[in-house]
Structure 1
């Protein structure tokens, strides 16, 4: 079994997110589009006609989105390189993409667990999910994704506790509404799971080993912040935030092109 790639490779995808997913102008996608209709910027070779100028042309939402490699997995593995352009199965392909993206996001986090807080159960879950990503469409659609999400969620919580145990006095701000708040100071080991951090000012905050799983970082000010040891931070969260050349990211995450150098 080949380990699936966990970063998007649009050159190996049929433009699935540009076709199958609905989006709206209000969410930063230029226009309103229903699911199953190709984006007006999608070319016949499945490439984006404005890829290099998305933000300038009013499509910042596209620069935030990340499929974690699900697009190319569905295109090249599940459907063996046969495009939606050659079949009438857009509905099925959309459902499969939704399942695959969740599986790949779980794998991203489980790979981090293996690197930072190894656990036999987490490794077993990773191998099980990797095998599922190679299955056919029928098997994927019949899989118990909700059950997997619950199980992986518990494994991630356990791993977080193992990493953050050296901060016994750390705050628990999970799922708190901290939108627009100034959050400077010592947040080392803080649990910010699912916290609303839209437009929060985190400059000068200490976020060593803070758990950011599912935190909403849209337009959060991370300029100068050291996030190199933060837990469960993903590329879409980084892409949605405001950072600069002094913002330190965990290994494997890219500095967004729209951040100032």
Structure 2
């Protein structure tokens, strides 16, 4: 049961629900849904959601893909508790048995990482929506939000290192980030991942990109591809384009061109 400090929010037009903190912490929205749309795989798969928060992206994957299982990795015990509350909702009964919540710091290395549940060579897909604010940005008094949004030096390197370790050869890394992080992401992927595909997301035609979608394949030697922009809104309106609306509501996946 929720209280006044929480909200229960519907995603995928009511296909699943998320319990989130009201007025504090990071609240999931379109970023999480676009991230989930990058997983396009009809096989029985295991997906790791790093820095999962209340679990929106991971649950969006298993909501759309009936043969997928997801492990939600979250360092904050508060946010992990919200993810567990989400799984306990009656509205999520059809998918709860395919999702687990694990409290773990995704920047751990070696034996400590494995002991925390981030087991080597065990996932087909790793998805992540890393913190995006530079440490010098205006700080928020909201401790939960600050933890979710504050980027630290080497963050992409440590998260992508973990992704590479826990993923099977040929597995797919998927992430959403701000455009200014593109250099760090490419550097972090290094020789771990190839076949990188980057899609800029623009609010409208003629406006600058506000996010990038990135996918890459573990062990691939294929070259980087910069894909056509994804434009969110129809010209002169706040209405989402038909394709973006399908992505946002679990009716479509954003497939890799290099499949």
Q: TM-score range by the shorter chain?
A: under 0.3
- Higher strand proportion: 2
**Higher-Rg member (1/2):** 1
- Higher helix proportion: 1
